[in-house]
Homo-oligomer: A and B are copies of this chain.
Amino acid sequence: MPKKINNLQYKSPVVGQEISCVLKGIDKSYLSNNKKLDSLIIKILKEEKFNICDVSSYSFKPRGYTLLVLLKESHLALHTYPEYDSVYFSIYSCRGPNDSLETFEKVKKALNPKELIHYTNNKIKVL
């Protein structure tokens, strides 16, 4: 019989992972097509068994795009800078100390950047 989860027993995982970076010189098709970028990110999150609770996005004038994905396991944020061929990417998740790494690697592989800068990978304990 599965264990009962109620208000008294349930506790969030204690250790999460926070990855953030700027990907420079990426595949330009993702900078000119926000829907393609959305589809890529959502596909990878689903592959990685994340639970998507909400998606918020905004197309700026004259250019630039922001995508925020609210996950049961925390969140993903992405900002494009088409004028610099760059994307800021961050993910924070709380299923364990290496939870976001595969997601990041898949995004990086697809965007195919010439350079990766400001990469940080932090273990976060909320307790």
Known: A83-B10, A118-B122. A70 touches B56 (CB 8 A): yes
Q: How far is the CA of A83 from the CA of B126 in the complex (A)?
A: 10
A27 to chain B, nearest CB (A): 17
Q: Which residues of B contact A40 (CB under 8 A)?
A: none
Verify A64–B124 contact, CB threshold 8 A: no
Contacts A54-B57, A77-B77, A88-B92 aside, 13 further interface pairs with beta carbons under 8 A come to: A11-B84, A12-B81, A12-B83, A12-B84, A20-B122, A24-B126, A55-B56, A56-B68, A57-B70, A86-B126, A117-B125, A118-B122, A120-B120
Q: Could you name 29 residue pairs across A and B whose Cβ atoms are closer than 8 Å? A: A5-B62, A7-B62, A10-B63, A10-B83, A11-B84, A12-B81, A14-B84, A18-B20, A22-B125, A24-B126, A53-B66, A54-B57, A54-B68, A55-B56, A56-B56, A56-B68, A56-B70, A57-B70, A58-B70, A66-B75, A74-B88, A79-B92, A84-B126, A84-B127, A86-B126, A88-B92, A88-B124, A90-B92, A120-B120
